[in-house]
Amino acid sequence: MMKAFAAMLISSFMLGTALPASAQIDVPYFKKMSKSDVCGGFNSYCQPASSIRYDRVRGADFVDLAEWLGTSYPDKDNSVFQRSSCTAPFEATDVIISGENNFSVSVNNAYTGQLHSKLDVDVAKYLAVVLEVLPGGLAAKLKADATDKLALGNNGKADLTYRRYDLKMTALGRLLPACYAKTKGLRRVITGVSVISMSGSWSRSRLIDSFGAFEATADFIGLEPDIKAKYTDRRAKALEGQFKPMSFIIATAWRTSD
């Protein structure tokens, strides 16, 4: 029985449904792109490799693999947000990055504001640390410049990374049987996710640009030495902060016991 199960796992990794390289991938907040640009033309919808069955996902932020891999949702389309835990916890060594690709894409103008508000969270938090020590007028100027540099604007481009995270075959063999016994073919078990991310370093770089431009102004040069010293100290603290990547899921790979 285990041999048959292993054979099924291997065949699922090997099979895939090919579409033309021009097939369009929906990249949230950004313009659609061909799958060859997003994932190198890997498969139908740049979906994970751990199953030939997959669902496209829209509007799902990604933070932690544990919130997705090994969870299950009803065996019907558009129900991925009704997830619940299914398998036993998995280890980091149970997961493989089965594909990765870097690409650049233009912002979808209709979502510029929403994208900006997501990116602004970390920048606003760390920028506030610096603004506290500046006179009101200068603080307002620095904040406005940082906000302007953060905004990608119409047709602005960003560098993104695509990754496929899949549970390894050994993990599938260990985790799925008990999950299948509980779900009885009525729920889809997530075995892989396709994630698109904008690195946190992008936001950090914009903040560095803003500090550099501010420090070249006559207003900054004319500041009292003690204020400059406080600013320099706060600037260093701000740039030590953790700028989180903005990530979202575009597809899940799933299996059922049927």
* pLDDT reported for residue 145: 85
| Rounded Cα gap, residues 36 and 135, in angstroms | 50
* pLDDT reported for residue 43: 73
Q: What is the pLDDT of residues 209-234, one digit of tens each?
A: 889 999 999 999 999 999 999 999 99
Query: How is the chain split into domains, by residue range?
Result: 2-255
- pLDDT tops 70 at residue 2: no
* pLDDT reported for residue 169: 96
Average pLDDT, the chain: 85
* pLDDT reported for residue 49: 94
Q: What is the pLDDT of residues 23-69, one digit of tens each?
A: 788 888 888 888 889 998 777 789 999 999 999 998 799 999 999 99
Q: What is the pLDDT of residues 145-193, one digit of tens each?
A: 887 777 665 557 788 999 999 999 999 999 999 999 999 989 999 999 9
Q: List the one residue out of 7, 90, 96, 99 whose CA is nearest residue 47.
A: 99
| Rounded Cα gap, residues 213 and 206, in angstroms | 11
- pLDDT tops 60 at residue 19: no
In the chain, % of residues over pLDDT 70: 89
Q: What is the pLDDT of residues 67-80, one digit of tens each?
A: 999 999 999 888 99
* pLDDT reported for residue 155: 59
